[in-house]
Structure 1
Amino acid sequence: MRANSLRTLRTVARCCRVPALVPRTSKFGVRWLSSDREERQWSTPLAKMLGEAITTTGPISVAAYMRQCLTAPEGGYYTRQTTDGDQFGAKGDFITSPEISQVFGEMVGLWLYTEWLAQGKKDKVQIIEVGPGRGTLMDDVLRTISNFKSFGRSIEAIYLVEASPHLRKQQAKLLCGTEELKQVDIGESAPCKYLPSCDVNWCEDIRLIPKEATSTPLILAHEFFDALPIHIFQNVAGSNIPASSTIMTPTGPIKPKHGPQAPKNQWHELVVSPTPPPDLPFQSEPEKTHTSTANPPPPDFELTISKSPTPHSLYLPQTSPRYKALATTPDAIIEISPESLSYISDFAVRIGGPNTTDTEGKPHTPSGAALILDYGPLATIPANTLRGIRHHAPCSPFITPGLVDLSADVDFLGLAEGAIKASPSVEVHGPVEQAFFLNTMGIKERAERLIKAAGQGSGDAEGKDEDETVKRLETGWKRLVDRGPTGMGRIYKAMAIVPYVPGKGARRPVGFGGDVVA
């Protein structure tokens, strides 16, 4: 479970002997341009590719580093072909909530059903999941939905946004009973085994999924936003911009209008650079006690502070009053994910519409819902949260690129701001702790029914299996709602986006303080 990895990079540093968010300005272009560079031993082929590219062009943003490590076509964590299973589950690197207990997916499926009821039983429903993993959550959701016949008949299509061909095959086998996928306009497709009247469709980008004014989108994002790339900025006191500074951006160069600026607080981006090769001199730091029994390899990369502003440091910290409020706080660190804001804006526009009419001049009636389940603070801006995890243990995010899962805390309040800004016809509920969401959805009652059914077997041979099933069900659902300091019920949060209907007042969804309505 990624949420149970160490909460800050400083903690990771103590375990891995690497500096974390204690960046230093590197004399890039001097330290690495050595004749010994070609003989450096990189930990993975992806590390070699990244290291050589950075040496040629300069340090890269944390977002660019994360994107390559997670989704590079060759060697990315989620896109590589594994030989010993996949990244999920007890044999992988982390366990997600649907893998712990089937009741988690059942509660999510039930939530979709309650939203369908509350919005008048729409007859053209799209179910969309971004980042579906092995398909476990969607499998439990569709199995639950199939028990509500009228709801099942209203679903016209299921869409999974998945970049990995390997994971697509696993999802297809679970949801469709086949690995043979048909090529369609947006990607691939196969008939759903739970709802024979509709297909499961796969695509690599949510923008490929059609936005239809007459369709009702029900969107799921479970442990998706935590894996989207982030930019990290540090407020540097006494910073100044040289007169010659020219920042290249996609829309053209940016140059200060008034020459050198007086030293002041300025956002500088933290960027990724290669660590010095082992045989080159390095500015030593105090030795840190290594508390882990493992012997991790030395990191291939490290964080450094950019000496001058980058396009992202000039723009992103100005996009929210929350960031601007920290502009005069020396050494403040903020993490911003533009891709997260892009996805949440897409969700909001699908549900509420960008304005009162669509492109053909027809009225857009707000409908649909999005349910986001992930980990992060309730209201504060994430800082120092970039982390790596391998074999269920925390590690530096800069070792063995492509073999380590990378994630960062989700800025839920930032997502809420982005959704409301993208569409005037949506409202946001939450975030609330996962324990509150699941308990109000009835997870305890559902688990008790399953436990009772599992314990009503007969015969000694079956009794042992029944005891194991009961124990697994009991420990599973309690783990999902555990509110201990590192419990999933406290660390994970739930947030919902639903239509805003003027004149009717806010309607709290089920799981967020509301009741079932029809």
Structure 2
Amino acid sequence: MNRLEAVLGRLIAEEGPLPIDRYMGLCLGHPQFGYYMTRDPLGEKGDFLTAPEVSQVFGELIGVWCAAVWASMGRPRHINLVELGPGRGTLMADVRRAIGQTAPALAQALSIHLVETSPVLRAAQRERLDGVVEWHASLADVPDGPMLCLANEFFDAIPVRQIERRGGRWHERVVGLTDSGLTLGLGLEVEQPGGEEGDVAELSPAREEIARSLGRRLAGHGGAALIIDYGHLGAGPGDTLQAMRGHRFVPVTHAPGESDLTAHVDFAALGRALAAGGAVVRPALTQRQFLLAMGLETRFSRLAAGADAAAAAQLARQQARLAEEAQMGNLFKVLAATMPTLPTPYPFGP
């Protein structure tokens, strides 16, 4: 039993089984023993690999997208470049470099704001991002003003509730405690229409509140947001909660605080919440569609042109990892939300 498991055991003994969203929130964000409070989880030596860690090309293309959106806004003289959950700062470093090379006027206009709660990752970001960067605990703390907001693999780590239909009724899924340790089970009955026996549904009020807040910011102060994550565009597929440790899946109750916990993003629900806040939401693309439209193949071809055989092979593997349908290309989706008066940003419209 690790230290967080002992904390959770005492909490369950005092208050009863924990709903999945509370369990997930404690596993990831407990101030002493939470997963993101105690480690850098990224990279080959960590637990998972994100697209910015695969290749610099990912961030460079997003930097080009940001520059085009800024131009369509009328090139405001001051704009916040915000990233939610910025990892090691790799994406922001690549975005900023691409902006400096393609849109130097935007580089002068922007101020960088990182929404990050992990002290370990803040330290990594500080090391990677030289210059003036401001850190915030939440989007609400970011200064007012027009904004370009990036969220890559952010919403998948926001806690979800799970409910399961048994005996003709929906019940909260919970984490309880037995003699053998933490275990999944069913709790109190909840009201939910429809469903068939054995169905599992995931709900995330926390995700939706963040999205509504983001929508309000875009509608009130102007700008655009680009959200990239793995998930589904329509009705949810059921139980998508997963734990990963050392690039391998493990049970969600295994070593709490030492494994990454995520769930697929419901992009339809996320889009509704953004729109409820006042933003205009564009139909989502797959990551493959977005990156190919932004010039992925051309950029990799240019990098490979001056590379030796080994480097060219590595570049080919990186391109495949980002865009192939069987890898990140189809699983990951890209959603754009904008202020109401902004023209549809490329490549989200006709």
TM-score of the aligned structures, taking structure 1 as reference length: 0.65
Matched, 1:475 2:303: no
Contact 2:82 2:149 in 1 (8 A): yes
Note if 1:391 corresponds to 2:250.
Answer: no
Q: Equivalents in 2 of 1:328, 1:66: separation in Å? A: 24
The Cα of 1:382 is off from its aligned counterpart by 4.3
CA 1:305/1:159 → structure 2, altered by over 3 Å: closer, same or farther?
same
Provide the residue aligned with 1:437 in structure 2.
Answer: 290
CA–CA distance in 1 between the matches of 2:19 and 2:173?
Answer: 7
RMSD, aligned CA: 1.6
C-alpha contact (below 8 Å) 1:382/1:410 kept by paired residues? no
Aligned-residue sequence identity (percent) comes to 35
Equivalent residue, structure 1, for 2:135: 202
The Cα shift of 1:507 comes to: 3.8
Equivalent residue, structure 2, for 1:449: 302
Matched, 1:268 2:104: no
* Secondary structure, aligned partner of 1:376: strand
Q: 2:333 aligns with which of 490, 493, 512?
A: 493
Q: Given that residues 214 and 277 in structure 2 are in contact (C-alpha distance below 8 angstroms), is that contact kept between their aligned partners in structure 1?
A: no
Matched to 1:347, the amino acid is: L
What residue number does 1:305 align with? Answer: 186
Contact 1:372 1:496 in 2 (8 A): yes
Which stretches in structure 2 are left out of the alignment for 5+ residues? none
Q: Give structure 1 regions of 4+ aligned residues with deviation exceeding 4 angstroms.
A: none
Match of 2:179 in 1: 277
User: Which residue number corresponds to residue 66 of structure 1?
Assistant: 24
> Are 2:124 and 1:124 equivalent residues in the alignment?
no
Residue 140 (1) aligns with residue 21 (2):
no
Q: How much has 1:130 moved relative to structure 2?
A: 0.7
Q: 1:53: which partner in 2?
A: 11
1:356 aligns with none
Alignment of 1:50-449 (within 5 A): 50-80=8-38, 82=39, 86-147=40-101, 148-155=103-110, 157-176=111-130, 192=131, 199-211=132-144, 215-238=145-168, 266-274=169-177, 276-278=178-180, 300-306=181-187, 308-309=188-189, 313-314=190-191, 317=192, 324=193, 327-353=194-220, 367-423=222-278, 426-449=279-302
Q: Secondary structure at the match of 1:123?
A: coil
Q: Which structure 1 residue ranges, 5 or more long, are not aligned?
A: 1-41, 177-191, 193-198, 239-265, 279-299, 318-323, 354-365, 456-465
**Aligned AA (2:140):** R
1:367 is displaced (CA, Å) by: 2.2
Max Rg structure: 1
The two structures have a TM-score, normalised by structure 2, of 0.95
Q: 1:366-411 CA distances to partner (integer Å, 9 max, x unpaired)?
A: 6200000000112122411000111111111110011101000001
User: Cα 1:382–1:337, aligned 2, differ >3 Å: closer, same or farther?
Assistant: farther
Task: Find the aligned partners of 1:430 and 1:452 in 2 and give their Cα distance.
Answer: 35
**Distance (whole Å) between structure 1 residues aligned to residue 195 and residue 158 of structure 2:** 28
2:346 match: 510
2:60/2:95 contact within 8 Å kept: yes
Measure how far apart 1:108 and its partner are. Answer: 0.9
Cα distance, 1:416 vs. partner?
Answer: 0.6
1:154 alignment partner AA: A
Residues matched between the structures, number: 349
Higher share of residues assigned strand: 2
SS at match of 1:78: helix
Shift of 1:237: 3.9
Aligned to 1:247: none
CA distance in 1, matches of 2:46, 2:69: 34
Secondary structure of the 2:165 match is strand
